Amino acid sequence: MDRRDFLLRGTALGCTAAASPFVTPVALASAPWDNRLVVVILRGAMDGLDVVQPYGDAGLAGLRPDLPSGEAGGGMDLDGFFSMHASLGALSPLWRSGELGFVHAVSTPYRDKRSHFDGQDLLEAGIGGTSGIRDGWLNRMLQQVPGLEQEIAYAVGREQMLILSGDKLVSSWAPGTDLQLGTETQRLLELVQHDDPIFRAASTDAIRIAAEARDLGNLAGEAVGRGTSVDVARFAASRLLADTRIASFSINGWDTHNQQARGLRQPLEELANTILTLKSSLGDVWSKTAVVCMTEFGRTARQNGSGGTDHGTAGAMLLAGGAVRGGRVVTDWPGLGEADLYDRRDLMPTRDVRAHAGWMMRGLFGLPQGTIESAIFPGLEMGGDPGLLL
Amino acid sequence: MFDPILAEIRFGTGLSPIHRPVQSADTMIARLKGPDVAAGDFGWTMFRNTRPSPDDLLDAGRAIRDAETEAAREEALAARREMYDRVGLLYRRGFKTSLLRAARAEDGFREALVDFWADHFTVLAKNAQHRHLVMGYIEEAIRPNVAGRFQDMLIAVVTNPLMLLYLDQSSSVGPNSPAGQRGGRGLNENLAREMLELHTVGVEAEYSQTDVRQLAELLTGLTAPSGDHFKFQRNRSEPGEEVVLGRTYGSGGEGFHNVVEALTDIATHPATARHISTKLARHFIADDPPEEVIAVMADAFRATNGDLAAVYEAMLRHDQAWTPERLKVKQPIEFMKSACRALGMGANDIASDRPGDLHPAFFSPLITMGQEWQKPNGPDGWPERSDFWVTPQFMAARISWSIYKVNTFMTHLEDPRDFVRTALGPNPPEDVVFAAGAAANIRDGIGVVLSSAAFQRR
């Protein structure tokens, strides 16, 4: 199926959805599977070489004299070759229990221009080039499975999530959206929405979800740390405990052009807290959950003149969750010698980020490989199974 | 049948306490063909006059790099900082201008059409430094052409730097042109593809990848050097003939005239007539618009070679454009504009240009309603479907804005018992009348009227 056919089909689906009456997506068996997938977009280009440090590669220290790696930089040794950045230290127990893993030297097909804007669009669209971006790969995935309720997937937070946008309607909510009405005003609101089914349903749900978000304190698990992403994770977890199977949100702050040693601390701690909050809030459901953290591209292999790094090509993915086969750094390591670098500058991509995302969907949701390679990531060849899941 | 109240709500930016509703379709068309009064009352500069320009910003960066002393560097940094302050200020003023035009213009239909076409020919500022230029693009390429010929709007859009940058045309080089032979650079199909798929004949039309490729070759040479102005660069233009949708261009040699000729043909193609008519009807009348209305609009388009006023007139004269049921849900920006109009908002009500005032009252609520200002997800613009906009989170944001924000920027609020008729016309639904009168205070009363399903539809 080419892109044009795909779009035509998408339009037809859209019309059907528009014509169908609004159904309140509550308490219906909403998915033919029980696994959970959380996709976290790390916006700003996370430096994979600093987060998962190939300290065993003889080239690294010379490229980055002011960004020490391995135990010298306070990092945690993973496998004798790679170490994990010290600011992810809170995740060490997960590594040891096999609930945390990494993928290294991967990228999208995006090359050379290194724009955040285009890079993120392409990552979320999951297609090979920057033209013709319309919808996100998670939305296209949902379009492959008929009969899914809107509650099946949640975009959380105020950021537009292209990855979940498209013809399939999904749910969204930003924790902190304020809708606390006095009883009297709420009654009047119900009155002025009453005769219009879609407005009535959306307003009723809005009041309910806002109240549930306020009551998150009643969740079994604890919020670990503070911050927007932790709130987002708690809210996402509350949905994933119910009918939601897929959630996506983003964490900002990875664009470390200056003083990276200081600049990476905060986003990494936020990322660690977010993952620990998911684990804690999800309880038993954590065992069926895979969290995939991905970024638009990696950063330059060499540090720059201001203690930071610039926009590069290949980088790393972080995987967490009870469903993940962790405790490993999955990679075809390309090396850091100057001739090994992409454009003599960046870590060389040895595999497509989308192939790993594809294998995750294959494993979690049982989607046929052919569907993933044609409809979800058009034109992708997934290659061999990297065995990311238990 | 024509209805003055529906005319303002469905085809304009809503009812206003200042202007009497328009009384006939003739008047609507006559106003459109007349002078653009709102553009004069609330002026804005064209793209080419908007400063700082991309060149100015580039120069400011260079000045910092080239500074030879620390003092000169400080000065250059301060100069650039001032420039970026102006970028932000212009962006916020642009928003205020568009809000005030919607709230105060007599000709609401023109304002609604400008928004429709700006969305049809979506551009995005790819970086924060360009965000103040979108208003200039709309002012220069869209606004003067809303009642003119479609082909003129298409040519204006395609020769505007912002579109050339957004859809990568500026980096496209004919592989066999002198520039392509020298630099090894090649074609970028983005603008050509979107032009066929979104802007003109539409994705359901009969065209092939070869047409896209040929059109991309034909468009080589259209550039925006540094983003400041349009230029046709002959040395980038792919030599030879190109065949697009069955017609041959360029047999008389290279030149911009080939592009104009091709765009004129594509703009007046029967598939374009149908695509544009469908989009207009889908925007103004219903998510699934009546086939009969589309047909007469497309006929008018074809008969006049794309005279847009004639296409609108065909729509406005069709009974099915005036169904009493309001099938469309206002998009967040339409909702906000119509609320400001109903509230009788004037320049003094949002006098401040400061981000600290505009963000909490407008920009941030728009994001939570799902429609960050001038930032749709892609070149296909904002979705039309009601079910996209009526979600719990987006509704929460609309209700919350109506009740908690409106009173922060309006210096005076009307009595809700009167406001219900200002906002909804002489015959509002009884429930809304009751709610407006039963609210505990003026703020909640106004908020409940604006949150009502009746006000949210058009």
Say if the Cβ atoms of B399 and A206 lie within 8 Å: yes
| Residue A351 near residue A105, CB atoms below 8 Å | yes
Is residue B102 in a domain?
Answer: yes
CATH number of A25-376: 3.40.720
* Separation between Cα atoms, residue B106 and residue B297, nearest integer Å: 25
Closest C-alpha to B59, from B223, B227, B171 = B227
Q: Give A86's DSSP letter.
A: G
In the prediction, which pLDDT does B40 show? Answer: 93
| Domains contained in chain B, number | 3
Q: Tokens in use for B221?
A: 């040479």
Say if the Cβ atoms of A189 and B387 lie within 8 Å: no
Report yes or no: B411 at the A interface, CB cutoff 8 Å. no
Q: Tokens in use for B215?
A: 């059109």
For strands A153-156 and A171-173, give the pairing.
Answer: parallel
Q: How many helices (H) and strands (E) does chain A have?
A: 13, 12
Say if the Cβ atoms of A185 and B447 lie within 8 Å: yes
Phi, psi of B114 (to 5 degrees): -60, -45
Cα A11 from chain centroid (whole Å):
26
Digit-by-digit pLDDT tens for chain A (390 residues) are 333 333 333 333 333 333 333 333 333 445 788 999 999 999 999 999 999 999 999 999 999 999 999 999 999 999 999 999 999 999 999 999 999 999 999 999 998 888 888 899 999 999 988 766 779 999 999 999 998 988 899 999 988 899 999 989 899 999 888 788 989 999 999 999 999 999 999 999 999 999 888 887 666 677 888 888 999 999 999 999 999 999 999 999 999 998 999 999 999 999 999 999 999 999 999 999 999 999 999 999 999 988 999 999 999 999 999 999 999 999 999 999 999 999 999 999 999 999 999 999 999 999 999 999 999 999 999 999 999 999
Is residue B9 in a domain?
Answer: yes
In the prediction, which pLDDT does A217 show? Answer: 63
Phi-psi domain of A225 (left: phi exceeds 0; alpha: psi -120 through 50; beta: other): left
Is residue B343 in a domain?
Answer: yes
Cα–Cα distances in angstroms (integers) from residue A51 to residues A79, A306, A372, B221, in the given order: 14, 19, 29, 44
In the prediction, which pLDDT does B352 show? Answer: 81
Is residue B61 in a domain?
Answer: yes
Say if the Cβ atoms of A198 and B390 lie within 8 Å: yes
* Separation between Cα atoms, residue B58 and residue B69, nearest integer Å: 20
Q: Sort A61 into a burial class: Cβ within 10 Å, 0-12 / 13-18 / 19+.
A: middle
DSSP string, A186-248: HHHHHHHHTT-HHHHHHHHHHHHHHHHHHGGGGSSS---S-SHHHHHHHHHHHHHTTT--EEE
| Residue B269 near residue B201, CB atoms below 8 Å | yes
DSSP string, B30-62: HHHHS--HHHHHT----GGG-SS-HHHHHHHHH
* Separation between Cα atoms, residue B155 and residue B132, nearest integer Å: 22
Interface test with A, best of B126, B384, B390, B434 (most A CBs within 10 A): B390
Q: Sort B81 into a burial class: Cβ within 10 Å, 0-12 / 13-18 / 19+.
A: exposed
Q: Which residue of B has its CA nearest to A201?
A: B392
- B106 Cβ contact partners less than 8 Å away, ≥ 6 residues apart: B19, B31, B37, B38
Phi-psi domain of A54 (left: phi exceeds 0; alpha: psi -120 through 50; beta: other): beta
Of chain B residues 282-341, which have a CB less than 8 A from chain A? 287-288, 329
* Separation between Cα atoms, residue B345 and residue B409, nearest integer Å: 9
Q: Which residues pair with B244 in a beta bridge?
A: B247
- Tell which of B246, B268, B290 closes a domain: B268
Say if the Cβ atoms of A199 and B390 lie within 8 Å: yes
Supply the Cα-derived Rg of chain B in whole angstroms. 24
| Residue A46 near residue A87, CB atoms below 8 Å | no
Q: Give A21's DSSP letter.
A: P
* Separation between Cα atoms, residue A33 and residue A389, nearest integer Å: 15
Q: What is the helix (H) or strand (E) element at residue A293, kind and residue range?
A: strand A289-295
Is residue B404 in a domain?
Answer: yes
- Tell which of B81, B104, B130 closes a domain: B130
Enumerate the H helices of B67-145 as residue ranges: 70-104, 108-120, 134-137
Q: Which residue of A has its CA nearest to B391?
A: A202
Per 3-state DSSP, chain A is made up of helix, strand and coil in percentages (nearest 5) of 40, 15, 45
* Separation between Cα atoms, residue B339 and residue B449, nearest integer Å: 10
Is residue B287 in a domain?
Answer: no
Q: What is the helix (H) or strand (E) element at residue B243, kind and residue range?
A: strand B242-244
* Separation between Cα atoms, residue B299 and residue B314, nearest integer Å: 9
Q: Sort B378 into a burial class: Cβ within 10 Å, 0-12 / 13-18 / 19+.
A: middle
Q: Dihedral of CA A123/A128/A133/A134: which sign?
A: negative
- Tell which of B130, B156, B177 closes a domain: B130
Say if the Cβ atoms of B367 and A194 lie within 8 Å: no
Say if the Cβ atoms of B378 and A133 lie within 8 Å: yes
In the prediction, which pLDDT does A10 show? Answer: 33
Range of the domain at B189: 164-268
Q: Sort B89 into a burial class: Cβ within 10 Å, 0-12 / 13-18 / 19+.
A: middle
Quote ipTM for the complex: 0.93
| Residue A313 near residue A348, CB atoms below 8 Å | yes
Interface test with B, best of A177, A188, A228 (most B CBs within 10 A): A188
- Residues in chain B predicted with pLDDT less than 70, given as ranges, are none
Q: What is the helix (H) or strand (E) element at residue B150, kind and residue range?
A: helix B150-158
Q: Which among A121, A171, A188 has CB closest to B435?
A: A188
DSSP string, A102-169: EEEEEE-S--SS--HHHHHHHHHHT-SSSTT--S-HHHHHHHTSTT--GGGEEEESSS--GGG-SSS-
Supply the Cα-derived Rg of chain A in whole angstroms. 21
Chain B residues whose CB is inside 8 A of the A193 CB are 451-453
Q: What pTM, to 2 d.p., does this model score?
A: 0.86
For strands A83-84 and A52-53, give the pairing.
Answer: antiparallel
Say if the Cβ atoms of A172 and B391 lie within 8 Å: yes
Same domain, B21 and B105: yes
In the prediction, which pLDDT does B183 show? Answer: 81
Is residue B314 in a domain?
Answer: no
Strand order in the sheet with A83-84: A52-53, A83-84, A76-77
Closest C-alpha to B277, from B258, B245, B300 = B300
* Separation between Cα atoms, residue B267 and residue A149, nearest integer Å: 41
∠ CA(A256), CA(A262), CA(A265), 5° rounding? 85
| Residue A91 near residue A271, CB atoms below 8 Å | no
Say if the Cβ atoms of B126 and A184 lie within 8 Å: no
Same domain, B108 and B176: no
Is residue B402 in a domain?
Answer: yes
